[in-house]
A and B are shown apart, each in its own frame.
Chain A
Amino acid sequence: MADETYPPDLLYHPEHDWARVEDGEATLGITWFAQDQLGEVVFFDPPHLGTAIAANDPYSEVESVKAVSDVIAPLSGEVTAVNEALSDAPEKINDDPYGEGWLIRVRLSDPSEADALLDADAYRERLAAESSE
Chain B
Amino acid sequence: MTRYTSATDRDRREMLAAIGAGSIDDLFADIPESLRLSAPLELPDGMAEQDVYDHLAQLAARNRHCEDEVSFLGAGMYDHYVPALIDSIIQRSEFLTPYTPYQPEVSQGGLQAMFEFQTAISELTGLPVANASLYEGPSSVASAGYLALLENRRSRFVTSRGVHPHSRAALETYGRGFGTTLHETPLDERGATDLDALAAAVDDDTAAVFLQQPNFLGTVEDLGPLVEAAQRTGALVVCSVDPLTLGVLEPPGAFGVDIAVGEGQSLGNRLDYGGPSFGFFAARDRFIRRMPGRIAGETVDADGRRGFVLTLQTREQHIRREKATHNICTSQALNAVAGVIYLSWLGRRGIVELGELMLRRTHYAREALGLQPINPGPVVREFAMRVPDLDDLFRRARAERVNPGYRLGRDYPEYADGLLVAITERRTRADIDRLAGLVARSREGVAA
Q: Do chains A and B touch in the complex (CB under 8 A)?
A: yes
Q: Which residues of B sit under 8 angstroms from A67, Cβ to Cβ?
A: 314, 319
Q: Report A11-49 CB contacts with B as 1/0, cut-off 8 Å.
A: 000000000000000000000000000000001010000
Q: Which of B314-329 contact A (CB under 8 A)?
A: 314, 319-320, 323
B313 / chain A contacts, CB cutoff of 8 Å: 65-66
B317 CB, min distance to chain A CBs, angstroms: 12
Closest to A63 in B: B314
Contacts of A2 in B (CB 8 A): none
Main secondary structure of the interface of B (DSSP, over half): helix
Point out the residues of chain B lying under 8 angstroms from A66, CB to CB: 313-314, 319
Q: Is A1 part of the contact surface with B, judged by Cβ < 8 Å?
A: no
Q: Which residue of B lies closest to A42 (CB)?
A: B314
B-side contacts of A64, CB under 8 Å = 314
At the interface, yes or no: A127 with Cβ under 8 Å from chain B? Answer: no
A-B interface, 4 closest residue pairs, ranked by CB to CB distance from nearest: A63-B314, A68-B314, A68-B320, A66-B319
Max chain A Cβ within 10 angstroms of own Cβ: one of B289, B314, B320:
B314
Q: List 16 A-B contacts (CB under 8 A).
A: A43-B289, A43-B314, A45-B289, A63-B314, A64-B314, A65-B313, A65-B314, A66-B313, A66-B314, A66-B319, A67-B314, A67-B319, A68-B314, A68-B319, A68-B320, A68-B323
Cα(A63)–Cα(B325), bound, Å: 15
Closest residue of B by beta carbon distance from A45: B289
Q: Please give the distance in Å from B25's CB to the nearest CB on chain A.
A: 41
Q: Tell me the smallest distance from the CB of A58 to a CB of chain B, in Å.
A: 11
Distance of A38 from chain B, by nearest CB (Å)? 11
B residues near A (Cβ < 8 Å) are 289, 313-314, 319-320, 323
Query: A93-118 toward B: CB 8 Å interface, digit per residue (1/0)?
Result: 00000000000000000000000000
Task: Count chain B CB atoms within 10 A of each CB in A63, A64, A66, A67 and give the residue with the most.
Answer: A63
Give Cα A65–Cα B315 distance, bound, in whole angstroms.
Answer: 10
Given contacts A65-B314, A66-B314, A67-B314, 10 further A-B pairs with CB under 8 A are: A43-B289, A43-B314, A45-B289, A64-B314, A65-B313, A66-B313, A66-B319, A68-B319, A68-B320, A68-B323
A68's nearest neighbour on chain B, judged by CB, is: B314
Q: Which residue of chain B has the shortest Cβ distance to A65 in the bound complex? A: B313
Give every chain A residue within 8 A of B319 (Cβ-Cβ).
Answer: 66-68
User: In the bound complex, what is the Cα–Cα distance between A67 and B323 (angstroms)?
Assistant: 12
Cα separation A68 to B319 with both chains bound (whole Å) = 8
C-alpha spacing A67/B315, complex, angstroms: 10
Q: Tell me, in angstroms, the Cα distance from A112 to B117 when the chains sit together.
A: 56
Contact with B along A61-85 (1 / 0, CB 8 A): 0011111100000000000000000
Note all chain B residues with C-beta closer than 8 A to A43: 289, 314
Complex: chain B residue closest to A64, CB-CB = B314
Nearest CB of chain B from residue A40's CB, rounded to whole Å: 12
Give chain B nearest CB distance to A22 CB in angstroms.
33
In whole Å, how far is A15's beta carbon from the nearest beta carbon of chain B?
18
CA distance in complex: A67, B319 (Å): 6
Closest Cβ of chain B to A45, distance in Å, is 8
Q: Please, how many angstroms separate the alpha-carbon atoms of A45 and B286 in the complex?
A: 13
Report chain B residues within 8 Å CB of A65.
313-314
Complex CA distance for A66 and B321, rounded to whole angstroms: 12
- Minimum C-beta distance from A116 to chain B (A): 28
- Measured CA separation A30–B25 after assembly (Å): 53
Nearest CB in chain B: distance from A63 CB, A: 5
Residues from chain A with a CB closer than 8 A to the CB of B314 are 43, 63-68
- Residues on the A chain within 8 Å of B320, using CB: 68
CA distance A31 to B405 in the complex (A): 66
What is the CB-to-nearest-CB distance from B247 to chain A, in angstroms, rounded to a whole number?
Answer: 37
A123 to chain B, nearest CB (A): 27
With the chains together, A43 CA to B289 CA distance in Å?
10
CA distance A94 to B323 in the complex (A): 24
Q: How far is the CA of A67 from the CA of B313 in the complex (A)?
A: 9
Closest Cβ of chain A: how far from B301's Cβ, in Å?
15
In whole angstroms, what is the CA distance A64 to B313 when docked? 10
- Give min CB distance, B411 to chain A, whole Å: 43
- When chains A and B are docked, how far (Å) is the Cα of A67 from the Cα of B320? 8
- A107–B204 Cα distance when bound, in Å, is 33
Report A62 CB to chain B, min CB distance, Å: 10
In Å, the complex CA distance between A106 and B320 comes to 28
CB distance from A48 to the nearest CB of B (A): 15
Q: What's the Cα separation between A45 and B288 when bound, in Å?
A: 13
| Cα separation A66 to B319 with both chains bound (whole Å) | 7
- Tell me the bound Cα distance from A64 to B314 in angstroms: 8
Q: Min CB distance, B16 to chain A, in Å?
A: 39
**What is the CB-to-nearest-CB distance from B147 to chain A, in angstroms, rounded to a whole number?**
16
How far does the alpha carbon of A64 sit from the alpha carbon of B320 in the complex, in Å?
12
Q: Which residues of B are found within 8 Å of A45, using beta-carbon distances?
A: 289
Q: How far is the CA of A109 from the CA of B411 in the complex (A)?
A: 60
A43 to B320, CA, bound (A): 14
CB distance from A60 to the nearest CB of B (A): 13
CA distance A45 to B290 in the complex (A): 13
By a CB distance below 8 angstroms, the chain A residues around B289 are: 43, 45
CA distance A44 to B289 in the complex (A): 12
Q: How far is the CB of B149 from chain A (nearest CB, A)?
A: 18
Q: Least Cβ distance of A59 to chain B in Å?
A: 15
Q: Once the chains are docked, how many angstroms separate the CA of A68 from the CA of B289?
A: 13
A41 to chain B, nearest CB (A): 11
